[in-house]
Chains A and B, each alone.
Chain A
Amino acid sequence: MTAVARPIRRTLMMVILLTCGAVMVITSGAFFAYQYLTFRQLTLRNLEILGKAIAANSTAALAFDNPDDAREALSAFKAQPHVRAARLYLNDGRLIASYPDGAGEPRAAAPLQDGYRFEDGLLLGVQPVVQGERRMGTLYLEADLGEISRNVELLLAIGAAFLLISCVAAYLISQRMQRVVSGPILTLAATAQRISEQRDYAVRAERPDGHEFGQLTDAFNHMLTRIQGDQTKLQTQLSRLGLLHRITRATGERHDLPSVFRVVIRTLEGDLPLDFGCMCVFEPSAEALTVSVIGAGSAAFAPALTLAEGEQVAIDANGLARCVAGELVYEPDTRTIRFPFPQRFARAGLHALVIAPLLVEKRVFGVLVAARRAADSFSSADCEFLRQLSEHVALASHQAQLYSALQRAYDDLRQSQQAIMQQERLRALGQMASGIAHDINNAISPVALYTESLLEREPGLSERARGYLATIQTAIEDVAETVARMREFYRPREAELVLARVRCNHLIEQVINLTRARWSDQPQQRGLVIQLQTELAPDLPDIMGSEVEIRDALTNLIFNAVDAMPEGGTLTLRTRMLAGGGSGADATRQVCVEVADTGIGMDDETRRRCLEPFYTTKGERGTGLGLAMVYGMVQRHSAELEIDSAVGQGTTVRLVFAAADALTFEAVRNVRMLQPAQRLRILLVDDDPLLIKSLRDILEQDGHAVTAADGGQKGIDAFRAALTGGTPFSVVITDLGMPYVDGRKVAASVKEAAAQTPVILLTGWGKRLLAENDIPPHVDRVLSKPPRLVEVRAALTELSSAARTPVAILAGPT
């Protein structure tokens, strides 16, 4: 304080004193100069008067040459001590008298000019002595300036004293008066000092009475108010910035929407602060908001607000609609708003409400709801902060969404890559399997033919033998199907689906028998027990489907169930009838087949992905194709697949098929009972002697005349020979894959020679040909190996009747 005070006080006093001093010095100087000049003039005048008087008295003395008289006249100067010398000269320059006596020169040293003047520090006077008109002589006077000097000294002394007294007076007055000026300034300075020391902008300067100082103080105080406000704002902004930074960082570390929302709400509740905060996700399709996250501190309000996580909030016309349109909505007092959503807040005691949209690329995908108890408690800075925050949150959420989308895309990509690799492997496997399958099909063809033939033509067989043969037949059919499918893993099979009546209960019994080794024998070897329960509904309607595929599917399900029970358990196979979806006459009956286990169950992830191809939980043991095949079967049968599973609770897989009506079954039965009406001359072309032999035996048993040709060329030759020999064949059955001349060439040659002769192509690749719509030209029918007697008979009957070959009638056994 003193550091500031002294200069201003001193300066003020200096100003006053210097002003006073200068004024007085100038005034005194002028006065002094006037006095001095006046005094000189006066002295001159005095001397002149004196000189004239003396001169007038000296005329007679000069006229009559009377030195005594002259001296007497001059002696009058005794009364004038400053007159140092006086001399009377005659006109001829002779000195007649001098004063003081005897002093001075007898004659005038130089002719002197009349008049009075200052010369060499002396006052000189040359006064003519005139009587009447006649000049008698000259009076010479010499006076010193002592009197002037004394006067000057006196004046100086008085002036100095006056100056001193004035300065003292000015000092005393100024010391008192300067307080009027310096006082308020010092008060202001002290206030400023205190503020800068304490950094407390709430301090205010006391207002003095003086108008301008009052204004100054008012301005100062006003400035302080502004600074205080600005400082408060700045600090608020800083803390907001820090908050924003924390939230941004926190959200940046999170990649899923709920956790981003949760951290935002938690931080806002604690630091803004909020009484209530929640995040909602906007669903444009539903025209509603879904509450995603409610802050932990806000949960107390949730019941009063009737808001809960996952709940939907209808968008009312006022605030929410505007917010969803991308506007930040601020309701200073919810009690005054007559819309349902703000009213809820008003009822919950939250009177100030801000709803900020979460905007990404101009699209609102959610809203941030912030509320406080006190009405009007959100400042514009708060709103601005929430608006900015919502932008950040929107960005973070968007990033989280992008991140998860990216993650999904990456997972998909990885899966696709794996799938492609798997497919590539399977394609190679399939090609290999195709060759193997061909050979297996050829190999089992005799077995199939003979078994079917035995069952049909040997009535003398024992029941047991007949049962065995039936099992062999089923097994052979399954082998054929399995082999066929083995090479077809990588291609869709819709086209080859042949629907037939399937008795589910019967099928399940078959499957139980087929898989016994798996659910009974193998676990027993490891000391485990898997109990098998069957709950089969009686009078179950048949379903339409591929028995083989359904059997495969059930087998797969049983395998999975067994695998799911590494510690043993209960395997339940269940069939029942469901009422179906429709009603009245349209009501469709449904058949439900369930495979249930008491195993480890599946978690959500596994449950969700279990139907994906190549998805497996069994590591190297599993192909990841089991359930995928089941699902494929279900789709092809227009059936439904339901999976109930919980970890540790076991899994139930439910297949729901539409029930078949009774008529279809009869039609199929007729086909089965079809018998060939005619005896035909048949040319059989194959490179496999076993197949030739077995097929020939069977066909001959049916009464046909069969000529076998070992290879394509031989077959063509035989056909041509028979044609030219007048005994043409009514039907040609040829293998497709043969060395040198294959089935296609054989067919072409046959059609070339006799266009109306039907050609049946028999192939281990038959299903593939069918699937690819790749039936070669000149071929009337394609049959796959191993040939089923039923199919062969049907084809022969159909083709021969269509061809109406007269030759066929004439033909006889060879």
Chain B
Amino acid sequence: MGRMIHSATHALRRVLAVALFACGVAAAAAPVSEYQLKAVFLFNFAQFVEWPAAALPRDNAPFVIGVVGKDPFGASLDEVLRGENINRHPLAVERYPSAAAIGDCQILFIPAAEIGHLDAILSALKGKSTLTVTDADNPAVRGVIIDLVKRDNRIRLRIDLQAARAGNLTISSKLLRPAEIVGAGS
């Protein structure tokens, strides 16, 4: 664990602190808040997905996680991402009030409440390699690459491979294995 501490970044320590806290909460029968967990998930997705080179930020440009519409995370997303980096790119959270406001981002979280604006959002993202994530938990929703699904009080993934392919993103098989896959045959 010492070595882990050595290699751990500031953010990870924070994650760990949160996790411990969560554990403590869990031990106290108080579950970790859902969005805290989803924030960690967002961050972790960066580990399992490969973006095309053009889609990645240039030089010291930050790796951007965007949230469209009303931000359900509150402060937790910033807390999770503070001090973290992906491939030496600092992480940045950008909040887009509407689909039209959506700028360049590598990951875009679409809260369940914004699903009504999905088409606009998707069209805004058309031609861009953006990993779209929602927590709509609706099998009918199409075009979003990862849907965070709640099962047995746990968050599971539903991955739309068609959408991923369309976004020119390669998703690690590790991520795919436990996930519910849609759009594979098409």
Contacts and interface: CB of A to CB of B under 8 A. Distances in A.
Interface of A: 57, 59-61, 63-66, 68-69, 90-94, 111-112, 114, 128, 131-132, 134-135, 138
Nearest to B15: A91
A134 B37 contact: no
Interface in B28-51: 37, 41, 44, 47-48
Contact of B4 (A60, A65, A68, A135): A135
A91 B172 CA distance: 21
Contacts of A92: 16, 19-20, 23
B16 A64 contact: no
B101 interface: no
Contact of B19 (A59, A68, A91, A132): A91
B3 interface: yes
Which of A65, A92, A94, A132: most chain B Cβ within 10 A?
Answer: A92
Contacts of A65: 37, 154-155
B58 interface: no
Contact of A132 (B12, B47, B156, B157): B47
Nearest to A61: B178
16 contacts: A59-B47, A60-B174, A60-B175, A60-B177, A63-B47, A64-B44, A64-B175, A64-B178, A66-B178, A91-B15, A92-B19, A94-B19, A94-B23, A131-B47, A135-B7, A135-B12
B54 interface: no
B185 interface: no
A63 B15 CA distance: 12
B19 A128 contact: no
A132 B37 CA distance: 20
Given A59-B174, A135-B8, 5 more contacts: A60-B174, A60-B177, A63-B47, A114-B3, A135-B7
Interface string B1-28: 1111001100010011001100100000
Q: Shortest 7 CB-CB distances between A and B: which pairs?
A: A60-B174, A69-B178, A111-B1, A92-B19, A63-B44, A131-B47, A66-B178
Contacts of B16: 91-92
Nearest to A111: B1
B19 A90 contact: yes
Nearest to A107: B23
A76 to B, nearest CB: 13
A91 B12 contact: yes
Interface of B: 1-4, 7-8, 12, 15-16, 19-20, 23, 37, 41, 44, 47-48, 154-157, 172, 174-175, 177-178
Which of A64, A90, A93, A94: most chain B Cβ within 10 A?
Answer: A64
A727 B172 CA distance: 219
A644 to B, nearest CB: 160
A64 B179 CA distance: 10
A779 to B, nearest CB: 177
B37 to A, nearest CB: 7
B152 to A, nearest CB: 10
Contacts of A128: 3-4
A60 B172 CA distance: 9
Contacts of B7: 135
Contacts of B174: 57, 59-60, 131
A134 B7 CA distance: 9
A568 B19 CA distance: 185
A60 B37 contact: no
Contacts of B177: 60, 69
A93 B27 CA distance: 13
B47 A134 contact: yes
Nearest to A114: B3
Contacts of B20: 92
A91 B8 CA distance: 10
Contacts of A135: 4, 7-8, 12
Contacts of B154: 65-66
Nearest to A70: B178
A451 to B, nearest CB: 189
Nearest to B3: A114
Nearest to A137: B4
B19 A60 contact: no
A158 B109 CA distance: 67
A64 B12 CA distance: 15
Contacts of B23: 92, 94
Nearest to B18: A92
A132 B174 CA distance: 12
Contacts of A138: 1, 4
Contacts of B37: 65
A94 B4 CA distance: 15
B12 A68 contact: no
Contacts of A93: 1
Nearest to B20: A92
Contacts of B175: 60, 64
A701 to B, nearest CB: 198
A65 B156 CA distance: 9
A91 B19 CA distance: 9
A387 to B, nearest CB: 113
B47 A111 contact: no
Nearest to B84: A134
